[in-house]
Amino acid sequence: MINEAAEIETVIKVNGLTRRFGNLTAVDDISFQVVRGEIFGFLGPNGAGKTTTVRMLTGVIEPTIGSATIQGYDIRKASILSREHIAVVPEQANVYLDLSVWRNLMLMAELYGIPRDRRVSSGERLLEALGLLKRKDSKARELSKGLKQRLMLCAALVTEPEVLFLDEPTSGLDVQSARLIRKIVRELNADGLTIFITTHNMVEAGDICSRVAIIDKGVIVAIDTPGNLRSMVRKRQYVEAVFREHAPPQEKMESIPGVIRLESDQEVFRLYTEAPGSVATLLGVLTDSLGLELEQLNTRKPSLEDVFLYYTGDGGIE
């Protein structure tokens, strides 16, 4: 998360960035800023424009219109300088399959001009941290997808970046690899590294991101801290109830003041409301008046997944 002791400084500034492919607008007039020392999450469904945005910011493709700067350098007018202190870990690992793990790492460091002593010590430290030191002499083609992704992260970090772009870093990985990468990301950020991460993993984003932007159909529909986004979607709060033996009639539960919608999943009932405390109390009163008994009663705040579905139109409540 953001180091409060550090002075707030804009590292990435995006203004009206747009990318069209023929008649298709993949990214449509988006604007946002990323400050130094934060983990900025870029969330969206597949095809929403996440990867296209990263490819524009990192110089792989040019914007159709709009502008962006990284550390003050325009990505179009000063593209080399804007990329000088960034590193990118793409979703699909693109390591050199016929080179060893160690040679992959050293080659990347050499390309970035990292002095030999520093790249050797840094390479060993990174391989140890990501559980690859014992595989340093193995060919990259012998690694599993998870280990290749770890190698990609090592290769990015050995270049000593100031800004790290991670595109779906844990997509398709085993639980152990995904957990380790999230742990490393937190540690890197605690040491001051600014991280831009694209993902559709809501739990991951909620756990590690300082702020998140939600993009849908090429447009940013919301941007804030995970906590603030959850609190903004008050209609996704609900009271969760499980009854012993019998439940009150659904029409009576729906008529409780403040209930927006009722959903049931066999024995579990969810009463969506902006006032969960009041609804929980009234549900208890209703249950007692009918001679019934509650087995469980909980109030639930919306998850980041609820927020995502609300803003992308796949679960919003009118």
How far apart are alpha carbons 295 and 313 in whole angstroms?
Answer: 34
Report the C-alpha gap between 229 and 234 in whole angstroms. 9
Which of the four pLDDT bands, split at 50, 70 and 90, describes residue 318?
Answer: very low
pLDDT value, residue 32: 96
Q: Could you report the per-residue pLDDT of 269-293, keeping only the tens digit for each?
A: 999 998 899 999 999 999 999 999 9
Binning pLDDT at 50, 70 and 90, where does residue 45 land? confident
Count the neighbouring beta carbons within 10 Å of the beta carbon of residue 15.
Answer: 13
**pLDDT-based confidence at residue 312 (cuts at 50, 70, 90):** confident
Determine phi and psi for 19, rounding to 5 degrees: -135, 125
Give the lowest-confidence range in 71-85, 89-103, 225-239, 273-287: 225-239
Mean pLDDT of 296-308: 84
Q: What is the reported pTM? A: 0.79
What is the arithmetic mean of pLDDT over 205-225? 92
Q: What is the mean pLDDT of residues 171-175?
A: 82
Please give the pLDDT value at position 162: 94
Residue 36 CA from chain centroid, whole number: 17
Query: What letter represents residue 114's amino acid?
Result: I
Q: What is the pLDDT of residues 241-257, one digit of tens each?
A: 999 989 999 999 999 99
Q: For position 4, what pLDDT does the model report?
A: 45
Q: Assign 3-class secondary structure to the chain.
A: CCCCCCCCCEEEEEEEEEEEECCEEEEEEEEEEEECCCEEEEECCCCCCHHHHHHHHCCCCCCCEEEEEECCEECCCCHHHHHCCEEEECCCCCCCCCCEHHHHHHHHHHHCCCCHHHHHHHHHHHHHHCCCHHHCCCEHHHCCHHHHHHHHHHHHHCCCCCEEEEECCCCCCCHHHHHHHHHHHHHHHHCCCEEEEEECCHHHHHHHCCEEEEEECCEEEEEECHHHHHHHCHHHCEEEEEEECCCCCHHHHHCCCCEEEEEEECCEEEEEECCHHHHHHHHHHHHHHCCCEEEEEEEECCCHHHHHHHHCCCCCCC
Spatial separation of the C-alpha atoms in residues 1 and 194, rounded to whole Å: 9
% of the chain exceeding 70 in pLDDT: 95
CA distances (Å), origin 265, targets 86, 236, 241, 249, 274: 47, 17, 11, 15, 21
Task: Delineate the domains of the chain, giving CATH numbers in brackets.
Answer: 10-225 (3.40.50.300), 238-300 (3.30.70)
| Largest Cα–Cα separation, the chain | 78
pLDDT attached to residue 153: 92
